[in-house]
Structure 1
Amino acid sequence: MFLQLIVLLLTFPFSCSLNQEGHLLYQVKLSFDDPDNVLSNWDNSDETPCNWTGVTCASQTRSVTSLDLQSFNLYGPFPASLLCRLQNLTYISFYNNNINSSLSESELGSCDSVSYLSLGQNLLTGLLPDKLADLPNLKYLDLSGNNFSGKVPECFGRFQKLEVLSLVGNLLEGTIPLELGNITSLKQLNLSYNPFLPGRVPAELGNLTNLEVLWLTDCNLYGEIPESLSQLTRLIDLDLAINGLSGRIPVGLTELTSLVQLELYNNSLSGEIPEKGWSNMKKLRLVDASMNELTGMIPNELCELPLESLNLYENRLVGEVPGSIANSPNLYELRLFKNRLTGYLPKDLGKNSPLLWIDVSQNEFVGEMPENLCANGVLEEVLMIENSLSGGIPASLGQCQTLTRVRLANNNFSGKVPARLWGLPHVSLLDLVSNSFSGEISRTIAGASNLSGLFISKNGFSGSIPEEIGFLEKLLGFTGNDNHFSGSLPTSIVKLGQLGKLDLHNNELSGELPGGVHSWKKLYELNLANNYISGNIPQEIGSLSVLNYLDLSGNQLSGNIPISLQNLRLNLLNLSYNHLSGDIPPVYAKAMYKSSFLGNPGLCGEIDGSCDGRSEAKNIGPVWLMRLILALAGIVLMIGIAWFYLRCRNFKKVKTVIDRSKWTLMSFHKLGFQESEIMDLLDEDNVIGSGSSGKVYKVVLSNGEAVAVKKLWGRSKIVSDESSDLEKGGHFQDDGFEAEVGTLGKIRHKNIVRLWCCCSTMDCKLLVYEYMPNGSLGDLLHSTKSALLIWPIRYTIAMDAAEGLSYLHHDCVPPIVHRDVKSNNILLASDFGARVADFGVARSVDPNGKGTKSMSVIAGSCGYIAPEYAYTLRVNEKSDIYSFGVVILELVTGRRPIDPEYGEKDLVKWVCTTLDQKGIDLVIDPKLNACFKDEICKVMNIGLLCTSPLPINRPSMRRVVKMLQEIGCRSQSKQVGKDGKLTPYYYEDSSDHGSVP
């Protein structure tokens, strides 16, 4: 106490008037890093701290009662020992900061007066302290969004007054303790999004008769929903989504008369929805039991409730939709897609409710579309894909100014499209594919200023395409194939500068192609096949740099093939069955393109059957010359291999015997081998990799265990291209031995490669690691074995690597920056679990230096280096985050970070450009199963966020882990959010019911 007093006196030379609580809070301030200076008024200008930011005092005693510092961007440990000395402090909130310690058992035990403790959304680690349960007045405890691990303590059942317990989004293991059922005062229990071991919903939770919120989303639960939950008569929100629950929905749940939200989506529930009892639940507003295996019919009693949202999609429901659902006065969302529902849609649907979104796609509905869907003038989305609906589109839909998406593909609709529907100002997607619509595209389409996807193929539309189409500045895709359009293409169509796809094949179009097509800078597909288009092929088509699909076959085109087409990189070229003449451009004058020019007898080239076939004799000379060159190259290669073999054999014979007595061994784990075993097996036959600083060997020990040994020789010169470090001027740099040992020797994490030991002499240094059977991610991903990496494995690798880097950035003291994150430094175990490796250039970050440190060299590898690093040489976590974003893009695309195909770009710029110009399908690795497309898009979005040019826009690694976890949860449910589009490209994919990337 005397020493503390001296410190306070030195700290406050003029603060004799500040009371003791002020001194304590000032020490709290000193314990934090406050980069935004939000605690600037915490000084000695007043007698008490009652006017300080975030501090509240009792009006009479002027004693501190509340400390609210949420979202202040504070860094540092939780100052429990100081705060618990404020005897009247009842309210503590550090929500959404960067508190990065563990919670001390001893320090927390003295906070007897605290009733509200909120430490959510921080960086806390370690176990949950048992002492928390002994705080006699604690009513509110929020530890969500941290990195707590271990089990939920059974002693938490001892809480005396606790009303809210939130542990959402941590790393908690074990199962949900039955003892939580003893906290009878509890009103909210939130345990969602934790990696618990498989377990059941504790039946004891039915004893929590005061409970209002039970949130157990994604808790790895299985088995049936216990009937005891029907005792929770005060329950308002019951959320058991994203688990493995099975069996029927308990009938007793319909006795929860206070329930407002019931969320059971993404489980394996089966059987019929309880038919009776729903009429008692007058407060029920939201029901989401989608993505289960429910059968039977939709209960009429359920539809008679004043629901706001009903989601029963992706089940096995049959029968008709009860007409009573149309009487729900608050219904704004109805999603019933992917069932086996039949009959007519309720006639008055939308008439009595503020309907926003309706999706009844992929059922067996018949009859006409309800006329009053937009009666309340707020309807935004109408999705009725793949049914047997017929009749015309109601004229009232054309007057619905709020519409944003209309998808009616694959039905039996007929008649003319209401003229006003073509020109609705907010519609971004109009999908009428595969119906029997007729008539023309109305000139009112000029008003569709937000239209980006116009898909009307496979109908009976006729007439000319109006000039007003050129007003659609945001149009990205226009498909009108298999109709009866006639006349010339409108000259205004070349004004569509954002157009990516134009498909009008199988129509009756005529006239010449319009001039000015060079403005289609983002066009990647042009298909005008099987029309009556005449004239020449415009030379300008050769300037469309992203065009990869060109089909002009089956027309009446004439003249020469423009030589400029050689500038294109086409996946498909079809000019067959026209009246073209002259020479075929040399690039295409090959047998592989023969089918591209059929039916053009005037074309000449070296393709068999064309008018200018060359004699075989003319080609004998060049062919034999090529064969001779190849033969000589083969001989030179064989001689080189033989010379190399002899040199290696001689090297083995004269290899210097290492004096083992001079080796220094440093172990970091209990070893089951001796260094002599390793040295005897450092043979060239065991080399599995090499780099600028040495070689890596696989060594199988006498006990059958394999280890990887990195052998470093002295100091190595930095090479210029693919080395781990890029140093200006070609100077010599340390081999990374000290950094590797200093880093891996002191950290332990399941996603960081384990360093067993190190051995060193004056000339040679050995690092002994755990052996990773599947090698590096980079080697596997960019090899012929990449097909082994199916999407679930790639997602797991990204998750593992992110957790490893998050540990380095947030859980190590001081934080560690890897500085060379890349796919070759992510190693894969036998189960494809990922480990971050190669810490030769890693650096600790000085926490007092605001997270940055200047370096004399640029560390990293080409294609992975953050753009700001090259000119600032500032080391911080944002550099690693950029590099990790590149790794994510590698996993999504299957491409290398740098490639000659990109030109002057790298992978990041290539992905951005390709997304913008060609769409998502040309970015995703074609080896990946399309059923994972939604999840892949979301993960790629994280990669793009991590590679943001501005470091401030990149999320922390801890946030990256959270986002990946959320995607993993959502991917199981296969949900697509209302605003879930990654890019504004749309496709005619009838299976999609959200925003279609």
Structure 2
Amino acid sequence: MKKSLSGESFSRWDVVVAGENPYCYYPGIACDNRGYVVKIDVSAWSLTGHFPADVCSYLPELRILRLSNNNLHGNFPDSIINCSLLEELSMAWTSLSGTLPDFSPMKSLRVLDLSYNLFSGEFPVSVTSLVNLEVLNFNENGAFNLWELPEDISGLTKLKLMVLSTCMMHGQIPASIGNLTSLVDLELSGNFLVGQIPVEMGNLKNLQQLELYYNQLSGEIPDELGNLTKLVDLDMSVNRFTGRIPESLCKLPNLRVLQLYNNSLTGEIPGAMANSTLKILSLYDNILTGEVPRNLGYSSELIALDLSENRLSGELPPEICKGGKLLYFLVLENRFSGELSENYANCVSLVRFRVNNNHLQGSIPEGILGLPHISILDLSFNRFTGPIAKTIGNAKNLSELFIQSNRISGVLPPEISKASNLVKIDLSNNLLSGPIPPEIEILRKLNLLMLQGNKLNSSIPKSLSSLKSLNVLDLSNNLLTGKIPESLCELLPNSINFSNNRLSGPVPLSLIRGGLIESLSGNPGLCVSVYLNSSAQNFSACPQIYSRKRLNCIWVIGISGVVVFVGVVLFLKRWFSRERAVMEHDETLSSSFIHCDVKSFHKINLDQHEIIEALVDKNIVGHGGSGTVYKIELSNGEIVAVKKLWSRKTKDPASEDQLLLDKELKTEVDTLGNIRHKNIIKLYCYFSNLDWNLLVYEYMPNGNLWDALHRGSILLDWVTRHRIALGIAQGLAYLHHDLLPPIIHRDIKSTNILLNADYYPKVADFGIAKVLQARGGKDSTSTSIAGTYGYLAPEYAYSHKATTKCDVYSFGVVLMELITGKKPVEEEFGENKNIIYWVSSKVDTKEGAMEVLDKRLLGTFRDEMIQVLRIAIRCTCSVPAIRPTMNEVVQLLIEADPCLFDTCKSSNNIKELSNSIKTEPI
């Protein structure tokens, strides 16, 4: 084995042990009393190479062989089947590939674990003849040919765990499965199973976990499943089940998790559900009707309830938070009516409360608006009345507030500014009146403010110009008066609408130039002083009223200008005669500006001449794939970063490379120029002509995340790393969900994450970003390969189709960098292995999960780091559909905030990563 495999762990076998059979004392080796080797356990030894052939010839008494979590090369070592006495064969996460042999000779096998490998060809149905099997695990081997579970599976009467998820199984579940009465865990999810669940499955009296999600099963759920009295976790989501939810299921005494979402179930939720012991109940996206059992949650400590997208009616269950543990309450898009119970105001554990698109009425309880840990509060599209309570200021964790399309009246309370984490506010189509509180300027994270369709009747506050992250601003269809503040033009959000108000005075010139003048229609008092496009012709011209004093001033200025001009000409004539040589030297530099195309996006004083003069070697701070980056300190004290793309003078303007650069420049300019988000790098302006292609950005003094993690002299603590992760996620969520069309970055990596002076992150380098042009809600586009090895989603490498889920995958890799402190590809991972493989090979046990955490962080915040590790694993799932969206990732990271409950606590209690890769839809 030492000759065939390599790894530092083998050094433990170099110790000389005196006496007979010294190998029996090697770590990982066990012998019987005769000196025969009966056990080899080298799991997670980071071994690489080929497993030796003919092992059974040399070790005839071998009973246990554990090779999991190593980097073995080649195909499955067929010689192992000659180990006739072998009882346990564990080879999970070994990267083996190829076809599998006939296992029927291995009659003594009790444990066969070949999960998370790359096996292909025919599935070895011969395993069904191994009557002593207790554990059978082929999870995540998605390259097999389609195969069916045979009827003779019934012979495996000793089987306790059967995991055949995502391994290309199709056909029906055979009725004979009901004979496997020793089963404790049955997982067949992620396959292509069809037909009905056999009623015989109700005979599995010892079953504790049953997972059938992501299949094509149909028909009714059999009542016989109510016989599974030891069942703890039942997930049959994303199938085609019809009919009612069996009442027998709701009476199971040990059931904690019931997930039946995304089916076609009908009828009412059984009344017996009120007395259940459930902690997670997810029934969304069905056709359920009737009322929810009134006492649901009274006798259990519910953590999550999702009844969304059904046809449920009546009042909401008032006791749902009785257990004090509820995090998620999601009942959107139903037909619920009545008022919100005051009990919800006492549910301080809530993180998400979504009751939108129902028929709810009455006032909103003050306590609900001020829940301390609430992240998403969505009450939109109901019939709520009354004011927005001042308690909104207590919602310190609130990120998204949606109360649009109700009958809310009164004023927008200034206390809303105390909810400092707000990113989105939509209060449109209500009856709000009075002013927009100037205190709103405190909400520096805000990127969406929708107040249209109310009765707001003041002027537009100048303080809105402080909202530098604002991307959508809609104040249309109100009674706003006065002028449009010039300071707002510094923002120029991607979407702006002031139409149908009572605004007056001149339209700011930058709104006309920005093509946003149409968003000002329906304001008869507005006028324009200059016409720059046809849209402006719909507005009257501003009256030109000059006083005698102003005319005299103009004359004085004009005459003074002539005098100054003559003086300058005389001076230049003298100077030119003496400095002709210097002028000739600078002739090329000066000509750069003759036909220079300049486009600015943010207010900043820049001298083009000064920028170009500073493009010298001493100011270079980096080189990218498309050019050189300079750090330039301007004479006014500001510091900017300038990306200089390759000069056209050194390349043929018509060449393929140059055309690609032109396209890349246009993409980056068009993309960044219209973006307003605190976690996206700010593009100030660009200069472009035949000699120069320059992009001028804000300067980020702490460089990129790669250097900070892997080369930096300062160790980033976990609170800082979590803040960085959340910032990146919020930036990507904005690109994916807040823009129309959305944007795929396509090259998310730690070198493209820049850090400001306070180590807040900004996503950069949009040179290869792609604006989605697909219609019909599709989120992908065919394109040439872009991205970086180690961060690239596997499906992108072979399909050349970029999707938002590709960005999610790359973000997951960055998360793993933050958690582990390791690079995406390191020698210790093994040949052709990356950080995803390495992490996955460790998380089967809580000790392994602890091992991947960055040891430099001295064990602080371990619970929170493990929580983020779960998110990273979901993001890097090999199946794109199972990866979360970036909106979901943002919320998951908020919930994993190490300072969520007001104090940053140190934690030593590691939670196990059970079901970490399982879909969590809520």
1:453 maps to what in 2?
Answer: 376
1:348 maps to what in 2?
Answer: 272
**Equivalence map 1:469-548=2 (5 Å):** 469-548=392-471
Q: Deviations over 1:866-915 (max 9, x none)?
A: 236776699xxxxxxx9xxx9x999962369899998979999213999x
The match for 1:608 among 512, 529, 537 is: 537
TM-superposed deviation, 1:521: 0.7
1:114–1:335: structure 2 CA closer, same or farther, 3 Å change rule? same
1:251 lines up with 2:103 in the alignment? no
1:356–1:589: structure 2 CA closer, same or farther, 3 Å change rule? same
1:674 maps to what in 2?
Answer: none
The match for 1:380 among 282, 294, 303 is: 303
1:322 lines up with 2:246 in the alignment? yes
TM-superposed deviation, 1:611: 2.9
1:561–1:185: structure 2 CA closer, same or farther, 3 Å change rule? same
TM-superposed deviation, 1:947: 5.9
1:595–1:726: structure 2 CA closer, same or farther, 3 Å change rule? closer
Helix, strand or coil at the partner of 2:763: helix
TM-superposed deviation, 1:727: 13
1:404 maps to what in 2?
Answer: 327
The one-letter code of the counterpart of 1:608 is Q
Helix, strand or coil at the partner of 2:207: coil
Helix, strand or coil at the partner of 1:130: coil
The one-letter code of the counterpart of 1:205 is V
State how far apart, in whole Å, the 1-side matches of 2:117 and 2:300 are: 42
Q: Work out whether residues 381 and 403 of structure 1, in 8 Å CA contact, stay in contact via their aligned partners in 2.
A: yes
2:708 maps to what in 1?
Answer: 867
State how far apart, in whole Å, the 1-side matches of 2:155 and 2:770 are: 49
Matched residues, percent identical? 28
1:943 maps to what in 2?
Answer: 814
Q: Work out whether residues 431 and 455 of structure 1, in 8 Å CA contact, stay in contact via their aligned partners in 2.
A: yes
The match for 2:515 among 592, 607, 628 is: 592
The match for 1:215 among 134, 137, 156 is: 137
TM-score, normalization by structure 2: 0.65
1:659 maps to what in 2?
Answer: none
The one-letter code of the counterpart of 1:910 is K
1:147 lines up with 2:75 in the alignment? no
TM-superposed deviation, 1:782: 5.0
TM-superposed deviation, 1:462: 0.7
1:395 maps to what in 2?
Answer: 318
TM-superposed deviation, 1:356: 0.8
Q: Work out whether residues 355 and 378 of structure 2, in 8 Å CA contact, stay in contact via their aligned partners in 1.
A: yes
State how far apart, in whole Å, the 1-side matches of 2:28 and 2:879 are: 33
The one-letter code of the counterpart of 2:333 is N
Q: Work out whether residues 286 and 309 of structure 2, in 8 Å CA contact, stay in contact via their aligned partners in 1.
A: yes
1:296 maps to what in 2?
Answer: 219
2:94 maps to what in 1?
Answer: 170
**Equivalence map 1:806-821=2 (5 Å):** none
State how far apart, in whole Å, the 1-side matches of 2:501 and 2:244 are: 53
TM-superposed deviation, 1:576: 0.9
The match for 2:889 among 969, 982, 991 is: 982
1:952–1:290: structure 2 CA closer, same or farther, 3 Å change rule? closer
Q: Deviations over 1:648-687 (max 9, x none)?
A: xxxxxxxxxxxxxxxxxxxxxxxxxxxxxxxxxxxxxxxx
TM-superposed deviation, 1:973: 8.0
2:197 maps to what in 1?
Answer: 273
The one-letter code of the counterpart of 1:199 is E
Helix, strand or coil at the partner of 1:445: helix
1:236 maps to what in 2?
Answer: 160
Q: Work out whether residues 863 and 897 of structure 1, in 8 Å CA contact, stay in contact via their aligned partners in 2.
A: no
**Which 5+ residue runs of structure 2 have no aligned equivalent?**
531-535, 545-587, 596-616, 631-655, 669-702, 716-723, 736-742, 781-802, 841-872, 895-917
TM-superposed deviation, 1:926: 4.6
The one-letter code of the counterpart of 1:612 is A
1:899–1:524: structure 2 CA closer, same or farther, 3 Å change rule? farther
The one-letter code of the counterpart of 2:537 is D
The one-letter code of the counterpart of 1:599 is G
The one-letter code of the counterpart of 2:890 is T
**Equivalence map 1:771-850=2 (5 Å):** none
Q: Deviations over 1:619-668 (max 9, x none)?
A: xxxxxxxxxxxxxx9xx99xx9xxxxxxxxxxxxxxxxxxxxxxxxxxxx
The match for 1:894 among 743, 746, 757 is: 746
2:763 maps to what in 1?
Answer: 911
TM-superposed deviation, 1:140: 2.1
Helix, strand or coil at the partner of 2:190: coil
Q: Work out whether residues 746 and 807 of structure 2, in 8 Å CA contact, stay in contact via their aligned partners in 1.
A: no
2:564 maps to what in 1?
Answer: none
Helix, strand or coil at the partner of 2:152: helix
1:441 lines up with 2:364 in the alignment? yes
1:338 lines up with 2:239 in the alignment? no
TM-superposed deviation, 1:541: 0.6
**Which 5+ residue runs of structure 1 have no aligned equivalent?**
1-27, 34-73, 96-107, 616-632, 641-715, 730-773, 787-861, 875-881, 915-922, 988-992
Q: Deviations over 1:421-452 (max 9, x none)?
A: 13411110011111000011112226621111
TM-superposed deviation, 1:467: 1.0
Helix, strand or coil at the partner of 1:334: strand
Q: Work out whether residues 286 and 310 of structure 1, in 8 Å CA contact, stay in contact via their aligned partners in 2.
A: yes
State how far apart, in whole Å, the 2-side matches of 1:947 and 1:924 are: 26
TM-superposed deviation, 1:81: 9.4
Single out whichever of 447-456 and 898-907 deviates more from structure 2: 898-907
Superposition RMSD on alpha carbons, in Å?
A: 4.8
The one-letter code of the counterpart of 2:255 is L
1:942–1:349: structure 2 CA closer, same or farther, 3 Å change rule? same
1:706 maps to what in 2?
Answer: none
Q: Work out whether residues 942 and 960 of structure 1, in 8 Å CA contact, stay in contact via their aligned partners in 2.
A: yes
Q: Work out whether residues 355 and 379 of structure 1, in 8 Å CA contact, stay in contact via their aligned partners in 2.
A: yes
Q: Work out whether residues 243 and 265 of structure 2, in 8 Å CA contact, stay in contact via their aligned partners in 1.
A: yes
Helix, strand or coil at the partner of 1:589: helix
The one-letter code of the counterpart of 1:175 is T
Single out whichever of 382-391 and 976-985 deviates more from structure 2: 976-985
Q: Work out whether residues 985 and 996 of structure 1, in 8 Å CA contact, stay in contact via their aligned partners in 2.
A: no
Q: Work out whether residues 453 and 985 of structure 1, in 8 Å CA contact, stay in contact via their aligned partners in 2.
A: no
**Equivalence map 1:81-96=2 (5 Å):** 87=21, 90=24, 93=27
Q: Work out whether residues 223 and 244 of structure 1, in 8 Å CA contact, stay in contact via their aligned partners in 2.
A: yes
TM-superposed deviation, 1:596: 1.3
State how far apart, in whole Å, the 2-side matches of 1:899 and 1:610 are: 48
State how far apart, in whole Å, the 2-side matches of 1:464 and 1:375 are: 31
Q: Work out whether residues 707 and 751 of structure 2, in 8 Å CA contact, stay in contact via their aligned partners in 1.
A: no
TM-superposed deviation, 1:388: 0.5
1:13 maps to what in 2?
Answer: none
The one-letter code of the counterpart of 1:946 is E
State how far apart, in whole Å, the 1-side matches of 2:56 and 2:753 are: 61
Q: Work out whether residues 986 and 996 of structure 1, in 8 Å CA contact, stay in contact via their aligned partners in 2.
A: no
1:722 lines up with 2:627 in the alignment? no
1:529–1:963: structure 2 CA closer, same or farther, 3 Å change rule? farther
Q: Work out whether residues 6 and 47 of structure 2, in 8 Å CA contact, stay in contact via their aligned partners in 1.
A: no
Q: Work out whether residues 529 and 555 of structure 1, in 8 Å CA contact, stay in contact via their aligned partners in 2.
A: yes
The one-letter code of the counterpart of 1:253 is I
Q: Work out whether residues 414 and 440 of structure 2, in 8 Å CA contact, stay in contact via their aligned partners in 1.
A: no
Q: Work out whether residues 269 and 293 of structure 2, in 8 Å CA contact, stay in contact via their aligned partners in 1.
A: yes
2:46 maps to what in 1?
Answer: 123
Helix, strand or coil at the partner of 2:319: helix
State how far apart, in whole Å, the 2-side matches of 1:381 and 1:195 are: 36
State how far apart, in whole Å, the 1-side matches of 2:327 and 2:22 are: 55
The match for 2:61 among 137, 142, 151 is: 137
1:182 lines up with 2:105 in the alignment? yes
TM-superposed deviation, 1:122: 3.1
Helix, strand or coil at the partner of 2:391: helix
The match for 1:972 among 879, 885, 888 is: 879
TM-superposed deviation, 1:585: 2.2
Q: Work out whether residues 422 and 441 of structure 1, in 8 Å CA contact, stay in contact via their aligned partners in 2.
A: no
State how far apart, in whole Å, the 2-side matches of 1:985 and 1:532 are: 36
The match for 2:350 among 399, 411, 427 is: 427
TM-superposed deviation, 1:373: 2.8
1:369–1:325: structure 2 CA closer, same or farther, 3 Å change rule? same
TM-superposed deviation, 1:375: 3.1
TM-score, normalization by structure 1: 0.60
